[in-house]
Structure 1
Amino acid sequence: MKHIAVIGAGLGGLSAAISLASKGFKVTVIERNEHIGGKMMPITADGHRFDFGPNTITMPEIFQSVILESGADPDDYFTFEKLARHTVNHFPDGRTLTFATGREAMRTEVDRFTNGQLAKNDITGYQEEVAHLFQIAKQQFFVNIDSYFNFSLLRDMTKVHPLKTLHGLHKKYFKDPQLIQALDRYATYIGSSPFQAPATFGLIAHLELNDGVYFTHGGNTAIAEGFARRARELGVVFRLGEEVTQIEVTNQLATEIELNHIDYLSVDFIVLNGDLLTQYPRLISETIRPDFKNPTPSQMEPSISAYVRCIGLSRRIEGLAHHNVFFSSDYEAEFKALFDQHRYAEEPTIYISNSSVTAPEMGIAGDNLFVLVNAPATHKGPIIDFDTYDKIIDQRLQHFGIDITSDVLFEQRITPQDIEQKFSAYHGSLYGLSSNGTRGAFMRPSNRSKNVHNLFFAGGSTHPGGGSPMVTLSGKLASERIVSAVASTL
């Protein structure tokens, strides 16, 4: 029986472990942290529970397919609830725009927001275009790609607007600057700037506005918990709190992994489900991987990071939805600060998840506020005083009529430096590489090492990209490659 080591128990590693174990492979998952799920990490306090990430779930069928294809019923492991009116966008002048699931609901809301000044065919055309972008991506990019230079891929690449920015796509359809700003925010779902990321990522709007936003019963971390339970049922062995310190390579094949500098585990294949940009260089000497040089920020731009405050209140804030966005007055200046000047924005856009609105058990004592602002990667920029920045955040929210400073029972900060350290994230980035420009967006590292032939990759820093559904899919794609590799030797 072939033995496969999965390094990292994030969603990509869990997905690969389940897929491989269900096909008869012996699988061991090694995880440096004591929890399973990677960034999908619960934070709990008396009377409050928070999902560190993600707070928004789309494409539930991706998570369900992992369980279903292993021979079990996904509903026995986690279930989802679709949120009808899921995100309220707030603007400094007092206007609000509520994102809802379903084409007709969005047309009605956009018509209200623009006072009927937007032609119906504009919003309809946009909805159809982003749906078309998604269908092309699903067929061409959500699969294993051995070469970017094939006719079918190059042909369809021209159809997804690789040279137009996301902001440019939105300006094509809409004139209202605040409507454009709300849609531009989808670039942050891949850690990038709407003024630089390709228009292709309009497909995220399709997922949220046409298809739907979901919440997992029990908290979104229930997905990772369900994956872990199914993996154990299939015989997967978890070694938590243990660190892989080296991968031994002989004749371009990984032969064993070193654990904690003292123990060794023989392997036939490896799935590396860590941040590829930090873990591949850490575990294998550059001389052995000439096709993957040690990355630098000037060559491989990190995605944005995040500064998070988990705040548990003893009360409910009237008017907060499950998902809330409080926008800055100058979005372009905000992204210039993050990417060009490598600093925190003076007037940040603030996201608040308050999942206790949907699931009161997430905040029994009161609202459970997951407060997030975009942050620069850690490789440059001045040291910030978070006490002072908290005051900026608090004052901005008070401008919108939201007070998060009183009746606080619990508060915990997570900084970009924390993300870098705890998750070995590339300069604290949430998604590895940014997708600013065509290279970062379309030519992410492959799921298979070119130099170590039995080493495969999963996670947000490899193909097909960041975000929980894509990370989960990357594990399935790595599994497919291993199954093919074994079959070719029979």
Structure 2
Amino acid sequence: MTKLDPSLATSVRDQARPHAAVIGAGLGGLASAMRLGAMGYRVTVVDRLDVPGGRGSALWREGHRFDLGPTIVTVPQVFEDLWAACGRTFADDVDLRPLDPFYEIRWPDGSTFAARQDTEAMRAEVARLSPDDLGGYDRFLADSAARYWFGFEDLGRRPMHRFRDLLAVLPDFVRLRADRSVHAHVARRVQDPRLRMALSFHPLFIGGDPFRVTSMYILVSHLEKEFGVHYAMGGVAAIARAMADVIAGQGGLLRMGTDVDEILVRDGRAAGLRLAGGEILRADIVVSNADPGHTYDQLLRKAPRRRWTTPRLARARWSMGLFVWYFGTRGTRGMWRDAGHHTILNGPRYGDLVRDIFRRGVLADDMSLYVHRPSVTDPGVAPEGDDTFYVLSPVPHLGHDDPVDWDAMRDTYRTKVAKVLDEQLLPGFADHLGPEEVFTPTEFRDRYLSPHGAGFSIEPRILQSAWFRPHNVSEELPGLYLAGAGTHPGAGLPGVISSAEVLAKLVPHPAEVSR
């Protein structure tokens, strides 16, 4: 009897497994592919970029690594759980380093606030700025912990696609005053305007207006305190590469540099993908890690839609845009010793600047900046003796009535950012400038296919969260699932990775698909 080549037998068995096509090799797509591979699916991930990671990828310029997107890791347990689901150990593949302090906040009057994990160190910082607010800060910490256990560990890690899921949690929303904004809640606890900013700005990390986003998001303060803030050596791009390696080890395939034109529909179900060149990729299920706006408006443009129609998407509130300046400096390692790994430079306004960005759509003359200097922790990010920087300014997205013309404003705004950096943090840095790149909302629109060039997809307001957000299991097409920042539970690394955990609870087991 003719023997079958063992490798061929494996190939035949592999081809017989149900196939999952994943659109997008961002962290949500990679996490989804890992979980589907662990369940037994044969997985193909398709992405238009040339490297995995999506917004968490990196560019190299003259020996400098520019980390394009997220720069910190909170709640490492979501990655540990993801790796464990694949029979692996996260720490074997990724080197996380805790940061202390997490970041330093600076105000125009010269005052500062160093955020740390240690409770007594944080209380000392509060007392140094405003002793009368110490009791209110303690109450704020308790508020944050309560919202963490409900909003993240419960609500954020289970499906929210059925209306009865919403009804079940409404009493908790009422009890925790989810109708109140983050800033309004903080203002009830502390009086000093600097502390109000320091305790309320976190929604900006996930694209939300602190004066409009539900107070559930004060849970971020508990995340920082409970789990710390970490940096992945090699940047978040190193996590993405490790995820891609796990997928390859499961027998999955990553097809980079490939655009998806549309999601195919057959017999009323998602049936695969049509790629930009016309190639058909058949699949039993489809997962989209693309922005839900792009998924529904473009990839499902030929299919009827009931909820996420073009007019509905046009009415949605989107997160702000981002102006990000990546640059290297030569011969500066050891200079600017008070410029740590993370620094937040506040402009003279807080509330009015946020309103300019989110509501008025105005590019203001003043700004607040987030400055990332990873070379403090990770020497490999730059040539020896050099530094690498990432400077981010929140700006309006492109969907306002009179959008910013970034072709005309790019250099002008960069000059304004440089002036703030020179005056407040990095004196003389322009004399040391090396390679640089600038991303504006235009790049977010064109590179990541983000509607309106928004930095974080749909804004996490209360009526755009949980059940009100695009669901992890599509309401429009059976067999289609969504992961990433624009779906439940939301943006930020913990939310994006958790979206894949929720999705895995909704996807049928491969044995059910093959029947």
TM range (shorter): over 0.9
Question: What does residue 196 of structure 1 align with?
Answer: 212
Q: Contact (CA 8 Å) 2:272, 2:286: kept in 1 or not?
A: no
Deviation of the 1:366 alpha carbon: 1.7
* Cα distance change on mapping 1:483 and 1:128 into 2, 3 Å: same
Give, as a single letter, the amino acid of the residue that structure 2 aligns with 1:112.
R
Unaligned runs of 5+ in 1: none
**Residue correspondence of structure 1 range 141-180 to structure 2 within 5 A:** 141-150=156-165, 151-180=167-196
Picking from 80, 103, 126, the partner of 1:110 is 126
Q: Which has the higher helix share?
A: 2
Question: What does residue 404 of structure 2 align with?
Answer: 382
User: Is 1:85–2:101 an aligned residue pair?
Assistant: yes
Q: Contact (CA 8 Å) 1:86, 1:321: kept in 2 or not?
A: no
4+ residue segments displaced more than 6 Å? none
Cα distance in 2, alignment partners of residues 298 and 291 from structure 1 = 12
Question: What does residue 353 of structure 2 align with?
Answer: 334
Picking from 327, 337, 341, the partner of 1:322 is 341
TM-score (norm 2): 0.91
Give, as a single letter, the amino acid of the residue that structure 2 aligns with 1:124.
D
* Cα distance change on mapping 1:294 and 1:405 into 2, 3 Å: same
Q: Contact (CA 8 Å) 1:317, 1:367: kept in 2 or not?
A: no
Q: Contact (CA 8 Å) 2:18, 2:513: kept in 1 or not?
A: no
Cα distance in 2, alignment partners of residues 298 and 140 from structure 1 = 27
Q: Contact (CA 8 Å) 2:272, 2:285: kept in 1 or not?
A: no
User: Is 1:29–2:45 an aligned residue pair?
Assistant: yes
Deviation of the 1:81 alpha carbon: 1.3
Deviation of the 1:108 alpha carbon: 1.6
User: Is 1:51–2:70 an aligned residue pair?
Assistant: no
Cα distance in 1, alignment partners of residues 188 and 338 from structure 2 = 33
Question: What does residue 242 of structure 1 align with?
Answer: 258
Deviation of the 1:256 alpha carbon: 3.0
Report SS of the residue matched to 2:170: helix
**Residue correspondence of structure 1 range 391-430 to structure 2 within 5 A:** 391-403=415-427, 404-430=429-455
Cα distance in 2, alignment partners of residues 29 and 287 from structure 1 = 22
Picking from 142, 148, 161, the partner of 1:134 is 148
Unaligned runs of 5+ in 2: 1-16
Report SS of the residue matched to 1:89: strand
Picking from 373, 383, 388, the partner of 1:368 is 388
Cα distance in 2, alignment partners of residues 402 and 117 from structure 1 = 33
Deviation of the 1:472 alpha carbon: 1.3
Q: Contact (CA 8 Å) 1:51, 1:220: kept in 2 or not?
A: yes
Cα distance in 1, alignment partners of residues 425 and 281 from structure 2 = 57
**Residue range with higher mean Cα deviation, 43-52 or 215-224:** 43-52
Deviation of the 1:483 alpha carbon: 3.0
Cα distance in 1, alignment partners of residues 319 and 366 from structure 2 = 20
Question: What does residue 371 of structure 2 align with?
Answer: 352
User: For each residue in 1:185-242, what CA deviation from the matched residue of structure 2 results, as whole angstroms up to 9, or x when unmatched?
Assistant: 1120121111111111101111123431110122222111110011100000111111
Question: What does residue 476 of structure 2 align with?
Answer: 451
Give, as a single letter, the amino acid of the residue that structure 1 aligns with 2:262.
Q
**Residue range with higher mean Cα deviation, 441-450 or 4-13:** 441-450
Aligned-residue sequence identity (percent) comes to 26
Cα distance in 2, alignment partners of residues 293 and 124 from structure 1 = 45
Report SS of the residue matched to 1:155: helix
Report SS of the residue matched to 2:45: strand
* Cα distance change on mapping 1:179 and 1:210 into 2, 3 Å: farther
User: Is 1:232–2:248 an aligned residue pair?
Assistant: yes
Q: Contact (CA 8 Å) 1:306, 1:416: kept in 2 or not?
A: yes
- RMSD of equivalent CA atoms: 1.8
Q: Contact (CA 8 Å) 1:143, 1:477: kept in 2 or not?
A: yes
Deviation of the 1:296 alpha carbon: 5.8
Report SS of the residue matched to 2:160: coil
Cα distance in 1, alignment partners of residues 424 and 490 from structure 2 = 34
Question: What does residue 325 of structure 2 align with?
Answer: 309
Q: How many residues align?
A: 487
Give, as a single letter, the amino acid of the residue that structure 1 aligns with 2:501.
K
Cα distance in 2, alignment partners of residues 345 and 192 from structure 1 = 18
Deviation of the 1:299 alpha carbon: 1.1
**Residue correspondence of structure 1 range 217-228 to structure 2 within 5 A:** 217-228=233-244
Report SS of the residue matched to 2:44: strand
**Residue correspondence of structure 1 range 295-306 to structure 2 within 5 A:** 295=311, 299-306=315-322
Q: Contact (CA 8 Å) 2:186, 2:196: kept in 1 or not?
A: yes
Cα distance in 1, alignment partners of residues 509 and 108 from structure 2 = 54
